[in-house]
Every structure is written in C-alpha cells, then in structure tokens.
Structure 1
Amino acid sequence: MDKVNFRTFGIFLCLLAMLALPSLLNAQGKLSKGIKKVERGEYNSAISFFEQSVKKGEMVAESNYWIGECYRMSNRVKEARGYYKLAYDDGLPFEDLPLSYAISMVAHEDYSGAKIVLEEFVGREANEENENYIMNAEDYLANLEYLEQIEGKKSVYRVKNMESINTEFAEYAPFYYKGNLFFTSNRGEGDIYKATGSYFTDLYSVKTKGAIVDLESLQKLGKEFNSIGVNDGCIAFSPSGKTVVFAKGNTGKKKGRADVSLYITYKKDGKWTEPRLMEINTPDSWNSTPAFSHDGKTLYFSSNRMGGYGGTDLYSATKDSRGRWTNVRNMGPKINTFGNEMFPTVSKYGKFYFSSDGHPSFGGLDLFSAQRQNGTIVVRNLGKPINSAADDFALFMYSRGKGFFSSNREDGKGDDDIYTFVNTDPKKKIVNYYLAGISYTLDDEGNEVVLPNTSVKLLTTNEDVLGETVTDEEGNFKFRVYEGEVYNLFGAKDGYLTGRNTFSMIGKELPEEKMVKQINEVVYETKVVLNKLELNKAIVLENIYYDFDKANIREDAALELDKLVNILVDNPKIKIELSSHTDSKGEALYNQDLSQRRAESAVAYIISKGIEPVRLQAKGYGESAPIAPNTMPDGSDNPEGRQKNRRTEFKVTDIMDKQPSEGIKEENLEELFFGSGD
C-alpha cells in the first residue's frame, strides 16, 4: 500500500485538525481549493494551492499550517517543520498546532525544542476546547522524558541497509517465506497517486538466503496480487503457505471503496484464487498491515475504525470452525495509544512486535516489543540503532535474533528502504510455555467423549479474553501461557452447556538448570468438559457437602456452587431446578424436609450472586431418588452407595430466548502471543 495510508492516514492529529475546516472552507480562492484536495487525500496536489495562497497573502498563517499538514500526512514530517514554525510564530490559534510542530521538531532530533513548545502549551489553562489536546501533549512530553532514559543504553542490534534491492523509490513491509523476501514498492511505472505524487505501490518478491539476495530473481507478483492504478501491498502468508492476506485500495477515484481494505486468497491446485474482500473490514475505514499468529488461527491487523484509542489501532480476528475470520477485537490500551499502532508481527519464538508513534519514540514510527510480565503487558522501545528520528517499522524475524525492517532514515538510498539486523546480545536460554488440552462431553454412562469444533477461550481471573481458538476434529487446543499467572478456560458449542476449568502457572516455572536447549518448550495438559444441553437431564454437582443435620452453605460448598453460578451467567437463556438428595438413614419425612431446606439454601446462595430468582427452582427429593444401593445384597451397609446418594444436582427445565455466553468480557483484548526471547 502507499506509505501515506500505511503510516499516517487516520492519525488523530489529522482528525483533530479537521475541526478547523468549516471556517476555512468559507475562505475564497486557492486556500479553499487546497483544503478540498486535502479532504480527498490529494496532499501533494494541495500543496501548490496553499503555496499560491501564501504568495497572494491570503490567510498566510493558515496556508503555512496546511502546507505543514500536507507534508506530515504524506509522510514528509521533516519538511513540515518550517511551515509549522511560520504558523506557530504567527500565533495561529489551532489547538493541534503545538503538538504537530513538536513532532516535526523531533523528526529533526530537536528534542529540547520540542519540549519547550509542549511545556508552554500544557501550561495554558485547560478548557473544554483544548483539554484533549493538552492531555495528548502531556503524554508526548512524558514520552520525550522516557527517551532520555533509554538513549544512553548500549544497543544489542547491528543494522545494515540492503542496498542491492533498495532504490530511490520506496521499498518496505518485508515478509520472508521459504527463501523468498516479499516487499512493497512504488518503483514501477504508470499512473501517479495524487496523495504522494509517486507511482502506485505493487508487491514484489526476490529469492534470498537470509539477507543474501539473488537479484536476478527479483520480480513483480502476478495479477492476483497487483492491479493497475491501485495501491497493493503489505503481504502476509499463513504458516502453511496456503493462505495469503494483503491490502488493496486507494484508487483515487470517486467510485468504489473509500479506503484501504484487506483481501484474502487461497492456493488451490497450485494456483491462487481470485482475491476477495475479507469480512473483517469495515466500510470507509483503513484496514491493513496483516500478520498471522504462529498457529495460523489468529490474524492481527491495523485499522482506524471507530471505537479505537487513537489514529490506527491494532486488532485481532480469529478463524472459526468453518474457516471464517470473525471475532474482531481491539488489542487494548496497553498496546494502542492516542497515536498510530501498525505493522504487527509474531516471531516463531513467540515475541510480539509492532510499530507505533504513540509510545515513546525517537521520531515518527518506532519499533517496539511487547511481552506479558506478572499478568500485564510490558511494551519496550527497541532503541537505537534499530530506531531513529525517522519512521522505523514493519519488523520481520526470519531466524532467532535476525530479521528485516523498514526505515526512511537519512542514510538510505531514497525513500523507504529495507534493512537487515542482527541481535548481538549473548544468546541466553529461554523457555516458552504452552497449555494444551482437549474438549470433551459426557455420554450417558459419564464417560468422556471428544467434542470437536468447540470454541475455547483463555481468560484472566478478571474474565478478560487473552486468546481464543476452535478445537480440531480430535478436540485439541493450545495456548501460550506465562510464568506466575492464573487462567480460566471457557468452552462453548451450540447444543451444549458452557464448560470451564482453571489452570495456574504459579510454581510451574522450569528451573534454568533444566533448560537443556537454547530455546525450550514446556507443554502442560488440561481439558474442558461440556455437558449436552438437554431438558430434565440431571447433572451432579461434585463436592457439595453440608454439616451433619444442617442446611447452611459451607465454604467448600460455596466454591462448588460458584461453578454453577458461572454456568448460569455463561448460559443466560436456561432455567434450572436445583435438587438435593439424601441417603436412607433417618426418617423419610425428615430427609425430605432436610433436602428441601438444603436445596433452598443453595438457591438462596446463587441468588445472592446476582442470578434472577425466576431462573431457579429448589427441589428436595430426600431419599426417594437413589442412584446407588444404600445397602449391600446381604443387608450390610454400603458407604460408597450412600455417598453417591447424598448429592446435589441440577437440570435444565427451560431454555429461554436469549443470547448465550453473555458473561464473557469481549473488550480490551490482549492476545497471548507476547513472550520472551529473540
């Protein structure tokens, strides 16, 4: 895709700046014509109108501001500084100007100058009109202070320009697959894209052995991936190589899709199918920079759709049992900021990388890693020289400690260039933990039977979704897990009650002396059991105990009843009967009364947890419904049988017309592909 839309389109400053449009649109002449060009994304064409406006003396400060905006929005932030300065020195009262000006100064590594401008701005008295601008300026100031802390740290990266494939044009978004390096470039010929004044972008490939390039193999991809007069780019292969997702858009025409969208194609009989628009796109929004998880079941991408935290945010989508990409979720405020987050990637060693200009950066986009530590996401700037005052983005690891990334830093051959890097840090041993399991149901005899195509989610103890998958035909699922964390597993399938399980990683860490390899893998096993959703089928609640001759709920019984509360929360359309049973000791009438009081006590406890009383019915059966003999054939006592008869059960009595699984939180997804290593 074109650089504009990959890296700056949708940035929150642009959106805020547009608030100034109504008054300016009333202006006559070249200025208003230039603004109309900006609205259409034709930034390069707009600049000439604003320059003519300056020459005519028509709203000079505003015109200089818009020239700066055009350069910034077309990824030429360094050229924007002079125009922002002219507008700033003229006292132009646009509330977004100080931060835009500061960002352009940072692009010139003038960090002290940027701090002076921002400190003066945040010192103003806040009001409803500038409160958000001041908050964003405060965040950016904090970022600049953080950079001072990391700038002096010794770098572990060695960086080199891949001169053999770079040109005076843009080469970026590298993706390495089976000896081929795929990338995006506007080195071609043909129509001009009006936003940048350069050619439209296409997808290319070249054979490489690591970073050693076979230039004779360089070629443009076929018509399945490239279209005339359209920006194509940013390709991602699934781990199997049979699925490709890439971005397409920006024809510059009035008809058709308004922005960039993701397309998908499949390899069948040795050929790629006609690319089709993915359902995870949203109309009139920018959707791009795709990346697959290591198992191919999750797709990460960036989008400026409504409901995000800033310009472009990172999202994830999961593949269901029918191969459809669904469950689009924002990756949350630990990853996403007021700025732009894009170009996600997951290395095969589990570490998550992305590009951002909202997290503390040395200027423009910087490269970051994210990993889980003690139940939270920790984001780190990769530091210099892998980051610079320019845009540094689209990292891809092709082996441990080695990879590619893109940058438009000054020592390049032209526009964006592709660089290779090596992590020179001593190779410490690392360990990746996984939780593998099988989804089951129970047959009439209580035996476990594999339940395929079950949706399984990995949750925090606060019910936030960390990962999601669909089990295969053998019921298998697998998640990445981390030291010192406790998880809930949640299983769901049509026609079944949801199932839950808990798994703790506390105390399960592998000691370093047992790490026999540089990269170690530890797999823990678990299971999720789902009961078939049938009316009036009794399901025993295990470990529900009462003190002798009493009906009050003990603490250990409350823990078990909490599991039933979860079932009712997860399955809000069911009504149940909760029943209590006794053995045959004592008088039948007394046992009947005791069991009724125990059932009512359990129901009262469940109601206290927020379940509507209308969904619950208490029923005591006393000794009238044994499931095992209370005595042996010879008349002697049968303790095991009596224990089975002293049970608490529930059964579904009605299924209401509601949506299932309303109890799971779906917001602020923080996917579990953030690890250690690399």
Structure 2
Amino acid sequence: MTKRYLTLLLTILIMSPLVAQKKSLKKARKKHDRGEYQVAIAMYERALEKGVNQAESNFQIAEAYRLSNRVQLALPYYKGAIDNGISNENAKLYYAFALKANSQYEEAEKELEQLVANAEDEQVLEKARLELDNLRNLKSIKEKNSYYRVRNLKAINSAEAEYSPIYNNGELYFTSSRGNDKIYKATGTSFTDIYKVPTKGAIVDTTAIEGLSNLVNSPKINDGCVTFSRDGRTMIFAKGNSGRKRGTFDVNLYITRYRRGAWSEPQMLSISDPNAWDSSPAFSRDGRTLYFASNRKGGKGGTDIYSAKLDGRGRWGNVRNMGNVINTTGNEMFPYVADDGKLYFSSDAHPGLGGLDLFVAERKSGKIGIQNLGSPINSSADDFGLFLYSQEKGFFSSNRAGGQGDDDIYTFINNDPNLKIVNYFLEGTVVYQPEDAKEELLDNSRVQLLDSQGELIEEAVTSKTGKFRFRVYEGENYVLVGEKDDYFTTRVDFTTIGKSVPKEQLTQMVTNKTFTTKIPLDQIIIEKSIVLENIFYDFGKHDIRDDAAVELDKLVNILIDNPGISIELSSHTDSVDDEEYNRKLSQRRAEAAVNYIVAAGIDKNRLVAKGYGEAQPIAPNTNPDGSDNPEGRQKNRRTEFKVLKVDKVKEQEDQQQDDLEDDEIDFDENLDDNNDN
C-alpha cells in the first residue's frame, strides 16, 4: 500500500509541472488569438526561460511582434524557432522578412532562395517568390536619383508614437500614444489619441498641442488616422482596437462634423465592415470619394486599398477594391490622393527597402505605373502616412532608427526641377433638345467615363444644372456614356490627344486646364419612329453594305446600353416599281438588318423586322406637276426603328450585374477624382 502511494505521489510530482506548463501555453495562445500580443509575448518569454517548447514559443513571440507591426524585433525569435526545428514554413518566410526589416538584405535573399527551392506550401512559395523578386530590384531603387530632403520634426515627436500627419485649416493633426495612461495589450504601449497643433508649414507651436475632445478620443480605444473634407468641417477617422472583441478586427471608420464650434458625436460609417479592420481613410479633393485600407473578405491579400463613393443623397456606398495594380498578397494601406491625381500609398509587398515603403501610382497614356519613392523617404523600417502640404513639401511617418522614440513624424522637401504639373479636367452638361423647344438641362443623370478599351474609369451624377466633371489625362481617347430614366443611353467620344499644354509654357507650379463637352439625350417615346441615317442598299438588293454596317453598329450599341427596350426595325422604299415588289424588298432588307444585329449578340426576342415598302412615305415621291422628286424619294428610302416597349425589370437586373462585375476594379477605375483645385 505504501509502495503504491509513493509511486502515485512521484507521478503527481513529475506530471504537475507539465500540466502547469501546458495550461500556461494554452493561456498564452488564447491571449495571442485575442490580439493581446504584448501579454502573450510576456507569457511565452517565461516559457522560454523554463525551456518549454522552444520552437513553438519562439515562433509565437516572433508572430506576436510581426502582427503588432514590430517585425524588426521578431528576428531573433524566428531564428530561435528555426534553430529548434519548427516545421512551419512561415517561420522561414517571415525570418527573411525580418532580416530585410533589419537591413540584412543579402541574408534575406539567401533565405528566400532556399525557401523557393524547397517550400511545399503553395502560399508560402508564392510570397517567397514575390519577395525574392523584390529584393533583386533593390539595386535600382537604391540607385534612383532622389531630390528629397527629410528632417525629423523633433519639435512635435516624443518617446511615444506620433504618426499620420494631416494639415487642416492652419493646424497639423496627428495620431499619438502620448498622454494616455491606459495600456493597449497588443503592443504594451499606450492607446492612441488624435492631437492637433497650430502650424505654419513645418513650424509648429508646441505650446499649443492638444488632444481632441472626449467625443472623439476614448481612453481605452485607439483613435487615429484622420482625413478632412476640403472645407475642413467633416472628419473621418479610425476608431477601434479596444481589446474587448475577439481578434483585432474591430477597427472601424467614423464620421464627425464640426458644428457650432465643436465636433459632433462620431457615427460609424455604413461602409465599414464590423468584422474587418478598416482604417487609414483619405478624402479625394472634391470630397466625393473616400479611400481606405481594409482586410475585409474578398481582398487580394492582407490589407487592400478600397474606394467608396458619396451619392446624391450624401450616403457613402459603392465600395470597390482598387485591383491588383495597387493591391498585392501583402499589405497596402495609408492612401493619399494629391492635387495632381497621383495616389500615394504604403506597401510591404511591392519592391521596397524595408517593411512598409512609400509608393506613388500615376496614370500615363491609359496605363498605371507604380514607383518606389526611394531613399531617403524610404528606409529599412516602416515608412507611411504621407501628406503633401504643397506640391514640393509635406509630411510622412517612420519608425526608422535615429528617431525620437516609436513612430515619428518627418517633414520633406522635393527639389525636383520638373515638378510643374498640368491637371486636365473635362466639364460637361447632359441635355435634352425637344423639337422646336428650348434645350433642357438634365439633372440626376448618370455619366460614365470609359477609356478607349471600354473600361470604366470614373462615374458621376449630374447636378441640378445638368453638370458633371472628371479628371482626364493627356494623350488619351475616352467615351462618355450618359443615361437617365426614360431617355436613351447615349455615347459621346472625347480625346485629349493633341490638346496638351507644352511644358515650356508652364509658369506656375500647378496649372489647371478644363475642356468642355455636351451629352445630348433623347427621350424614349413608345412608337415614335427614329430614322437611322446612312443605311444604304445596292439597287434592288438587301445585302448589308459596309457603310450600312457602321450605322447598324451604332444601333447595336443603343440596344446594349438600353437593355430594357424592344424595338421594331423597319425598312421603307420610294414608289419606283410596283407596290408588292417594294413591300417584299423592304421586308428582306429589314430582316437582313435584324439578322446583322442578332449576330452582334442582341437577343432576337427584342427585335421585330417590318418591311413597309412604299406605304409610309415621309416626303412626296413626285412634284405637284407629276415630275420626279429625287430628294423626296431619297428621304423615303430609309431605315427606322421605334421602341415597342421598355422592360424596367430587365434594366435593373443588368445594372445590378454591372455593379457586381465592377466590385473588383482596377486602379485606373478609382484613381481619377473630380478635383476641385
């Protein structure tokens, strides 16, 4: 009995520490999964001190540093996980990322080469290949001629984090963890708040730094990353990361308005996804487009840049991914659209020097180019949150070595001698011209700007005076599509080719040139005949000639653009030859035209072919004295169409399908804003 008791006691003594260690690791994993990374790091550190599960503990510490944007600190822990035999290939992938973040480029390249040669996980392999390509582009980035000069804005920076600067009405707004004694468990640092300080350029009045009101800043929630409408009276900012929700996907976008000397109670934007991380908002110059970063479902990778539009009722919607020209399998965030239409953003997956690098996307001749801003704007650390105070001066954020503390705000000057730019805009009106009546301006009309390939670039809704405005670019062909309920959707061509302002004529840093145009819409009137001009047939024949095909193609476009209409296509003759012959000939011609349209992809159920022969003249075939009237007979030899019915349900279904297809949209469909500069 005594022997059995001693054996049991010995077993308990041996097993108790193991049980305790398992419980400790389970608790650490729970904290990690909840996004309380700093708490998890401390718990895993204790496990390392006790020699518990060295590979897993090192890996989880490294991941906690990476996921809380401190990948530089993750380096020794990824190495520790690898040295202790961890099988997770992500450890080797992110070890290379950590090497790069610590400026150990050659070592990072070697690690990635080995991973590309041996990786079995397809996702790891894809990321490793991308990052290896990026590293091999470093030489060109480093050798890039730079006109930037940067300086730490020491007057405003502290030992805490300061980032995301933005200028508004004589004040510099920024995000900082200073002055908040509540600790955020993800990083072990204070929660962030939004601050402001009076400034003239980079000269700040440090005696007047103050946090925003408690309506905006919350003591146990991270507040920050703000953007303002052009008049400075509407602010959108990110709020979240309270630690009360599972994971870190609790950052949302909020809107507040400046009224009677104070900011109103912030309200969460309807476009914000409660189950995703939505942050770093940025207004377009006209305030009708909002750019932001999100890791919502359906993206390209980690965090992607999205855009949203403000409708005529002041509601945000039409959220679209910026597409794979901008977004990658990595993280893209901190968008900013400058006065010249260029999109600045940060990414850790485009070819760069470190963690987050700053990039600029620019449209030229219908294509989008991405450029790394190079050193000294970028470093091996995180560089992000750029804002242009003027064409050649601005601010950005960085956690590079040599700063005041955590993230710091930097100023820069761009001394590039070729900074002078021309902004091109296209202003127009949508109109209706009734017969024998004054031209009418059509408000609430939808206008789309398409490129030469028919891809959507931008869209707008006309004002009360029927006006719209788009940013356009030099050397490009466009198509404008105007549409309104009960009117035919109409296309109008426009080009900027040959209309550029020569650079040698530029006298100012920024020059704006505005073109004008008009989109005429016709009312859809049931049973009203509309003549198709220039539809000609060889004498006595019904074959579609090349010149007639050009005109019929226009009708095809009308039917495509107006999916709800069904039409009768009719052919008419003059009175030469007998009546029966003319009727049969016109019927064959009408059927030939319908067959051509069906062959172009139009549903045959939307078309009726009708030959009227000489039965419906619109002009006399002969003069009053009985002589021949060539002009009258020519008018009578015509092709017409008239709308038989309009299927509104069909139009709505097609519009919904178009919206679905536009959800995944390329950068050039979002970059162009109605700049009011």
Query: Scaled by the length of structure 1, what TM-score is found?
Result: 0.89
Return the alpha-carbon distance in structure 1 between the equivalents of residues 524 and 184 of structure 2.
57
- Structure 1 residue 512, shift from structure 2 partner: 3.3
* Residue pair 1:395, 1:404 contacting (<8 A) in 2 also: yes
- Structure 1 residue 498, shift from structure 2 partner: 2.4
Is the partner of 1:28 in helix, strand or coil?
helix
Tell me what 1:524 maps to. 515
Match among 188, 201, 207 for residue 192 of structure 2:
201
1:537 partnered with 2:528: yes
Change (3 A) 1:255 1:89: closer
1:186 partnered with 2:209: no
* Residue pair 2:54, 2:84 contacting (<8 A) in 1 also: no
* Residue pair 1:157, 1:385 contacting (<8 A) in 2 also: yes
1:378 partnered with 2:369: yes
Match among 67, 71, 76 for residue 73 of structure 1:
67
Tell me what 1:325 maps to. 316
Letter in 2 for 1:133: V
Tell me what 1:12 maps to. none
* Residue pair 1:569, 1:663 contacting (<8 A) in 2 also: no
Tell me what 1:669 maps to. 666
Is the partner of 2:80 in helix, strand or coil?
helix
* Residue pair 1:62, 1:87 contacting (<8 A) in 2 also: yes
1:310 partnered with 2:301: yes
Change (3 A) 1:446 1:315: farther
1:426 partnered with 2:417: yes
- Structure 1 residue 175, shift from structure 2 partner: 1.0
Q: CA-to-partner distance for each residue in 1:300-343, whole Å, 9 max, x for gaps?
A: 11111111111111111112121211211111111111111111
* Residue pair 1:480, 1:673 contacting (<8 A) in 2 also: no
Return the alpha-carbon distance in structure 2 between the equivalents of residues 287 and 145 of structure 1.
32
* Residue pair 1:479, 1:672 contacting (<8 A) in 2 also: no
1:60 partnered with 2:54: yes
Letter in 2 for 1:223: N
Is the partner of 1:228 in helix, strand or coil?
coil
Change (3 A) 1:340 1:556: farther
- Structure 1 residue 435, shift from structure 2 partner: 2.0
Matches within 5 A, 1:270-669: 271-445=262-436, 448-627=439-618, 644-656=635-647, 657-658=649-650, 659-661=653-655, 662=657, 665-666=661-662, 667-669=664-666
Letter in 2 for 1:71: Y
Match among 21, 26, 31 for residue 32 of structure 1:
26
Is the partner of 2:208 in helix, strand or coil?
strand
* Residue pair 1:464, 1:668 contacting (<8 A) in 2 also: no
Change (3 A) 1:515 1:194: same
Letter in 2 for 1:50: Y
Letter in 1 for 2:115: F
Letter in 2 for 1:112: E
- Structure 1 residue 369, shift from structure 2 partner: 0.5
* Residue pair 1:341, 1:356 contacting (<8 A) in 2 also: yes
Change (3 A) 1:540 1:266: farther
Tell me what 1:24 maps to. none
Return the alpha-carbon distance in structure 2 between the equivalents of residues 641 and 28 of structure 1.
98
Match among 36, 39, 52 for residue 45 of structure 1:
39
Deviates more, 1:618-627 or 1:640-649: 640-649
Q: CA-to-partner distance for each residue in 1:541-597, whole Å, 9 max, x for gaps?
A: 444343444322233332332333233333333322222334455544343333322
Identify unmatched segments of 5+ residues in structure 1: 1-26
Is the partner of 2:73 in helix, strand or coil?
helix
Q: CA-to-partner distance for each residue in 1:83-133, whole Å, 9 max, x for gaps?
A: 001112233111222221111001110000000000001012x65xx1221
Query: How many residues align structurally?
Result: 647
Change (3 A) 1:518 1:488: same
Return the alpha-carbon distance in structure 2 between the equivalents of residues 635 and 572 of structure 1.
46
Return the alpha-carbon distance in structure 2 between the equivalents of residues 208 and 452 of structure 1.
42
Change (3 A) 1:189 1:518: closer
Return the alpha-carbon distance in structure 2 between the equivalents of residues 553 and 133 of structure 1.
58
Q: CA-to-partner distance for each residue in 1:611-633, whole Å, 9 max, x for gaps?
A: 22112111223343344555677
- Structure 1 residue 210, shift from structure 2 partner: 1.0
* Residue pair 2:325, 2:666 contacting (<8 A) in 1 also: no
* Residue pair 1:582, 1:591 contacting (<8 A) in 2 also: yes
Tell me what 1:239 maps to. 230
Rg larger in structure: 2
Is the partner of 1:410 in helix, strand or coil?
coil
Letter in 1 for 2:237: F
* Residue pair 1:465, 1:669 contacting (<8 A) in 2 also: no
Return the alpha-carbon distance in structure 1 between the equivalents of residues 347 and 590 of structure 2.
56
Return the alpha-carbon distance in structure 2 between the equivalents of residues 275 and 283 of structure 1.
16
- Structure 1 residue 47, shift from structure 2 partner: 0.6
What is the aligned-residue RMSD (CA, Å)? 2.6
Change (3 A) 1:379 1:554: same
Return the alpha-carbon distance in structure 2 between the equivalents of residues 629 and 241 of structure 1.
67
1:113 partnered with 2:104: no
* Residue pair 1:370, 1:379 contacting (<8 A) in 2 also: yes
Change (3 A) 1:105 1:316: same
Return the alpha-carbon distance in structure 1 between the equivalents of residues 534 and 350 of structure 2.
49
Is the partner of 1:165 in helix, strand or coil?
coil
Deviates more, 1:658-667 or 1:310-319: 658-667
Is the partner of 2:22 in helix, strand or coil?
coil
* Residue pair 1:464, 1:669 contacting (<8 A) in 2 also: no
Letter in 1 for 2:127: N
- Structure 1 residue 270, shift from structure 2 partner: 5.3
Change (3 A) 1:496 1:226: farther
Return the alpha-carbon distance in structure 1 between the equivalents of residues 543 and 608 of structure 2.
17
* Residue pair 2:307, 2:320 contacting (<8 A) in 1 also: yes
Return the alpha-carbon distance in structure 2 between the equivalents of residues 646 and 518 of structure 1.
59
Match among 126, 132, 143 for residue 135 of structure 1:
126
Deviates more, 1:503-512 or 1:174-183: 503-512
Match among 64, 85, 88 for residue 79 of structure 2:
85
* Residue pair 2:149, 2:414 contacting (<8 A) in 1 also: yes
* Residue pair 1:459, 1:465 contacting (<8 A) in 2 also: yes
Return the alpha-carbon distance in structure 2 between the equivalents of residues 549 and 269 of structure 1.
79
Change (3 A) 1:55 1:526: same
Letter in 1 for 2:265: E
Return the alpha-carbon distance in structure 2 between the equivalents of residues 524 and 543 of structure 1.
31
Deviates more, 1:37-46 or 1:273-282: 273-282
Match among 87, 90, 94 for residue 100 of structure 1:
94
Q: CA-to-partner distance for each residue in 1:249-277, whole Å, 9 max, x for gaps?
A: 22222499951111223345555443222
* Residue pair 1:301, 1:344 contacting (<8 A) in 2 also: yes
Is the partner of 1:96 in helix, strand or coil?
helix
Return the alpha-carbon distance in structure 2 between the equivalents of residues 632 and 206 of structure 1.
86
Q: CA-to-partner distance for each residue in 1:143-196, whole Å, 9 max, x for gaps?
A: 111111120223110001111111111111111122111111111224221111
Deviates more, 1:577-586 or 1:338-347: 577-586
Deviates more, 1:212-221 or 1:137-146: 212-221
Letter in 2 for 1:306: K
